[in-house]
Amino acid sequence: MIPRTITLFRTRFLLAVLALVVWAAPVGAAVDLEAMDELTPGEQYRQLSLLMLVTSGTDPALLELLRPIEERQAGSGAPELALDDYVTPLIRIVDQDTLLASAAGLFRYARENSQAIQERLTAIARENPILISMLDVNEMAADAIIIRNAIADSIEYSDVIDDPAAGERLQAFRGQTIYLRNMMEYNIFQEELASITNEAILDLGGRLDAYQRMFEDDVDPDLIKRRVESAEIMNQQTGSRYEDQAMARNAELLMMLILMESQVR
């Protein structure tokens, strides 16, 4: 029971994060990239990454499928929700039409502003390398998968599922989510493999160094000097290493988006 409760709470919270980009204004209002300037670079990067992972590869026909819900919500005078509402039980009573209308707004905005969003992500990574190097793209992908599944479930239980084309559109959306999950799992495998390999190399280097010391009575001053110089070089390269890691994280995210878009028929 406890794990399931935690999962349900996490799902609701993530749905709130998804809705945050749109629900900060009335439903149907445009998402404004400039409004995100008030957020920290890390939060901007996280929200924009999540937005793109949730919406990337969406079939344009899905937007048409959700249009009736958008129009219905636009005329209903849906209330604005405050940020604090997303961590309260209020999220439990948000109806499917509100969720799907907001999701449609996200899909449309992301499609129309994809280039600008990706440029913002790259700029943030370049300007804040240490911060972005610590972000976990796979964790953001996992959150996006939860949100995409929640959207798909809401579509399945809404009246738009009666549309003859709904089944195909929904299956395509779920297929994209599975594709994202496969990419995430592959990245995790690659990271684990690299970690094991690096540990093995370090262990081997340490063993060889220890064996060398066992058979040498005298200290080699040249060896010590070279190691000190190596340490200095490594210290100088620390900054560039963070930059490399940050851009690698950003490239990993963009590659996910590109591969998802390539699956759209």
Question: What confidence score (pLDDT) does residue 105 get?
Answer: 82
Question: What confidence score (pLDDT) does residue 120 get?
Answer: 92
C-alpha triplet 248, 241, 141: angle, nearest 5° = 30
Closest CA to 64 of 144, 148, 159, 166: 166
Question: What confidence score (pLDDT) does residue 179 get?
Answer: 84
Q: Profile the chain (265 residues) by mean pLDDT over runs of 10 residues.
A: 46 47 39 78 87 84 88 65 40 66 84 90 89 84 85 86 86 88 80 67 56 52 57 53 70 72 59
How much is the pTM?
0.67
Sequence-ordered list of residues with C-beta below 8 angstroms from that of 120, at least 6 positions apart, any chain:
33, 44, 48
Q: Which two tokens stand for residue 261?
A: 């878009």
Question: What confidence score (pLDDT) does residue 138 get?
Answer: 85
Alpha helices by DSSP H, listed for the chain, are 2-23, 41-55, 60-74, 96-112, 114-127, 129-133, 137-156, 166-214, 221-236, 238-262
Sequence-ordered list of residues with C-beta below 8 angstroms from that of 208, at least 6 positions apart, any chain:
none
Distances (CA, A) of 110 to 21, 30, 33, 50, 70: 11, 10, 11, 11, 16
Question: What confidence score (pLDDT) does residue 27 get?
Answer: 39
Question: What confidence score (pLDDT) does residue 135 get?
Answer: 83
| CA distance linking residue 193 with residue 217, whole number of Å | 38
Question: What confidence score (pLDDT) does residue 212 get?
Answer: 54
Amino acid type, 89: P
Q: Is 149 exposed, middle or buried (0-12, 13-18, 19+ CB in 10 A)?
A: middle
Residue given tokens 């089944």 in the structure block: 167
Give the domain ranges of the chain: 2-191+240-262
Question: What confidence score (pLDDT) does residue 80 get?
Answer: 39
8 Å CB contact between 69 and 102: no
Question: What confidence score (pLDDT) does residue 29 get?
Answer: 40
| CA distance linking residue 194 with residue 191, whole number of Å | 5
Sequence-ordered list of residues with C-beta below 8 angstroms from that of 129, at least 6 positions apart, any chain:
239, 242, 243, 245, 246, 247
